[in-house]
Each structure stands twice: as C-alpha cells, then as structure tokens.
Amino acid sequence: MPVLTATVRRAPARTDHPAGQASVVLRADTGEALEMDLGRWHDPATAEEQELLATVDGPVIDLGCGPGRLVASLASRGVPSLGVDSSPSAITLARMRGATVLQRDLFGRLPGEGRWGAALLFDGNVGIGGDPARLLARCRALVADYGQVLAEVHAPGTGWRRLTAWFERDGERSEPFDWAVVGADAIAELAGPAGLDLVDLGATPSGRWFARLQPA
C-alpha cells in the first residue's frame, strides 16, 4: 500500500450522470450534500489508484465498477479482473473502454464466488445498498481465504450511518436509493461480524482513506 499520511478528505460517491455535469449533487435525507468527483469517476485510474491496485493479487472483482477505470487499469497490467455494476449506462461506458464487466446486482450470483483474490469498493461503494455489514459479508463470500477487500472509507470521526440518497441536477431528482456513509473509525466494527479483519488503514497522499480487510 502507498505511504499513508494524516491528510484527510471526504471520500466521494459515484454517480450515474454523464461527465461534465458539475451541477449534479448527491444529496441525502439528512440534508447534506455528499461530495462527488465526477471527473475522476470518468477518467482513467489515477497514479495513486494504480499504486493501490498494484498491492492486490488477482483475480480482482470491482464491485460498483462504474465506467470501468479500475478494471481497465488492472487489465492493462495483465491482471485478471471483472467489474460488476447494476447501471446500464455505466456498463456501456466500461465496455467502450474495453473493460470486462457484468451488468448485475452484486448480491446476485456472480462468477468465481469464493475464488477472487481481491474485491474492490472504491469511491464510497462500501455504502451500496445502505447496509455495509451485509455488503462486507458479501465480499467475504466472494474472496478466497487468502484474499482481501480494499474499501475506500470516509475520514476518522465520521462513524457510520444509513441514508436515503438521490441525485439532483438542474432542478430534477433521481429516484431515491439506499446508501451508507462509513468512516475509518467504524470499518473494523462492521467488518468483524462479516468475517473480516482490518489489517491496514490510512490515508493516501491525496487524502483518500482506505481500509484493507482480510478473512478472519
């Protein structure tokens, strides 16, 4: 894992909206607007992300892969990888990028269950479904006994909470969906019942927080 620093910044959430729509806001029923980085979601994997990906062994499954930037980066290095996302538009963009992806509910049946070397939850995807304990348990079922889960979390002091969220753009709102915010201080508590141990936690030089989990 890259050298970790104490610099912090809230982790962004992913969005289904096209690139360049700066007016898109991910809003929660708490009244807060959750920060997003639309440019990064659509752009190729950053150097920092590539450094993180170099620390995991294949095959790798990226849950909530979006336009497939991480899968494409792994494939370019010859690492077997698969992206999974329920969004048709995200899957289309990923396939245009040449990434190997499936449009599927990540809680449904997936290839290679119990045999993946690593599962990825970048860009706030640990919040998918609003039940991070269930999601982490799903990750444990997907990875091999020697595997790991690399999850992006929010800064320490965030705790964790369930939200109802939606996208807003130009006065229009998407359908609401269940989401969760998970902080670095809460990930170990959630991982334990899922059969995972926290083995590494810290912030990258740009301030993104990541937790590395392994089967207990």
User: Which is it for the CA torsion 126, 132, 138, 142, positive or negative?
Assistant: positive
Report if residue 59 sits inside a domain: yes
- Indicate the pLDDT class of residue 42, thresholds 50, 70 and 90: confident
Report if residue 96 sits inside a domain: yes
Q: How many CA atoms lie within 13 A of 107 on its CB side?
A: 10
Residue 91 is predicted with a pLDDT of 96
The answer to whether residues 207 and 195 touch, using CB atoms and an 8 Å cutoff, is no
Q: What is the DSSP letter of 13?
A: B
Report if residue 16 sits inside a domain: no
Report if residue 183 sits inside a domain: yes
Amino acid at position 145, single letter: D
How many domains does the chain contain in total?
1
**Domain holding 200: CATH number?**
3.40.50.150
Instruction: Tell me the residue range of the domain where 177 lies.
Output: 27-215
Three-state SS for 130-143 is HCHHHHHHHHHHHE
Amino acid at position 198, single letter: L
Q: What is the DSSP letter of 12?
A: P
> Mean per-residue pLDDT for 82-97?
95
Report if residue 3 sits inside a domain: no
Report if residue 173 sits inside a domain: yes
Per-residue tokens: 173? 């709102």
Sort residue 157 into left (φ over 0), alpha (ψ -120 to 50) or beta. left
How confident is the model over 57-76, as pLDDT tens digits? 999 999 999 999 999 999 99
Report if residue 187 sits inside a domain: yes
Report if residue 13 sits inside a domain: no
How confident is the model over 131-154, as pLDDT tens digits? 999 999 999 999 999 999 999 999
